[in-house]
Amino acid sequence: QKEVEQDPGPLSVPEGAIVSLNCTYSNSAFQYFMWYRQYSRKGPELLMYTYSSGNKEDGRFTAQVDKSSKYISLFIRDSQPSDSATYLCASDTGRRALTFGSGTRLQVQP
Amino acid sequence: DAGVIQSPRHEVTEMGQEVTLRCKPISGHDYLFWYRQTMMRGLELLIYFNNNVPIDDSGMPEDRFSAKMPNASFSTLKIQPSEPRDSAVYFCASSDVRGQIYEQYFGPGTRLTVT
């Protein structure tokens, strides 16, 4: 079993929809939780992060962590075609050795 | 800043050949990471360096893989001999100890195909 599990999708939604992306993890030592976005044939780039449990909002994006259930979520409001990408959740104990989920491919239809 | 630079961008080689992937981190960054991405296994950390010293190489799949960082601005990942199952996209990333622990800057990747 991988330490971070993520549904690979693909997930297809119409423009303007609310998107919910989720991951589960098994390592209780994880303290840092982040979402990276990867466009086709590009390297991943950091999108959002949270430390420990809680919510964090940045524009149309909200990251949520529930450590009691070991659940990581990313919500995208008013989704745009430019949001079409693969979204990777990642976690770290503080060692800087990120453990990534396998990624969920999102397609936002205009 | 030019960002993380990787070369070559594409590499096609035959089984048994030696492959060398190269990375130039962002200037001033003191952490460097090598990752491998495949459809089956996703993005996996192979090895990372701090101040040119290897810290954790537990992700290196086997002895055919080796990585070096002779100075702060250059690192190599070598596969010898290469096998078809090594076909993947290899990413290099760097980060700054003064920056956030979770923020790594990725290069564009090297797409390796071993036939």
Residues in chain A within 8 Å Cβ distance of B43: 44, 88, 100, 102-103
- Taking the C-alpha atoms of residue B23 and residue B7, their distance in angstroms, rounded to an integer, is 7
Q: DSSP per residue over chain B, as a string? A: ----EEE-SEEEE-TT--EEEEEEPPTT--EEEEEEEETTTEEEEEEEEETTEEEE-TT--STTEEEEEEETTEEEEEESS--GGG-EEEEEEEE-TTS-TT--EE---EEEEE-
Q: With a cut of 80, say whether residue B98 has pLDDT above it.
A: no
Chain-centre distance for alpha carbon A94 = 18
A97/B contact by beta carbon, under 8 A: yes
Identify the pLDDT of residue B1. Answer: 64
Q: Which pLDDT tens digit goes with each residue over B37-55?
A: 998 889 999 999 999 999 9
**Sorting pLDDT into bands at 50, 70 and 90, what band is B80?**
very high
Q: What is the 3-state secondary structure (H, E, C) of A38-95?
A: ECCCCCCEEEEEEECCEEEEECCEEEEEECCCCEEEEEECCCCHHHCEEEEEEEECCC
> Most B CBs within 10 Å: which of A52, A96, A99, as the mutation test of the B interface?
A96
Mean pLDDT of the B23-35 span: 95
| Strand ranges across the sheet with B74-79 | B5-7, B19-24, B74-79, B65-71
Q: Is the dihedral of CA B100, B55, B30, A47 positive or negative?
A: negative
Mean pLDDT score across all residues of chain B: 94
Amino acid at A85: A
The confidence score (pLDDT) of residue A73 equals 96
- Nearest residue of chain A to residue B107 (CA atoms): A43
* Confidence check: pLDDT of B85 > 70: yes
> A99–B56: do the CB atoms touch at under 8 Å?
no
pLDDT score recorded for residue B69: 98
Q: Does A1 touch chain B (CB under 8 A)?
A: no
Choose from A45, A88, A98, A105 for mutation: most chain B CBs within 10 A.
A98
In terms of Cα–Cα distance, which of B19, B17, B21, B18 is closest to B7? B21
- B4, B94 contact by CB (below 8 A): yes
Distance CA B43, CA A100 (A): 6
pLDDT of residue B77: 98
B43, B100, B102 member nearest A88 (Cβ): B43
DSSP state of A3: S
Contact A49 B44 (CB under 8 A): no
Residue B31 is nearest to which of A41, A96, A103, comparing CB atoms? A96
DSSP A101: -
| Cα B74 from Cα B72, distance rounded (Å) | 6
Which pLDDT does position B99 carry in this prediction?
A: 65
Say yes or no for a CB contact (<8 Å) between A43 and B48: no
pLDDT < 70 positions in chain A: none
B31 and A98 within 8 Å at the Cβ level: the answer is no
Does the N-terminal peptide bond of residue B8 adopt cis geometry, omega within 30 degrees of 0?
yes
**How distant is the Cα of A76 from the closest Cα of chain B, in angstroms?**
20
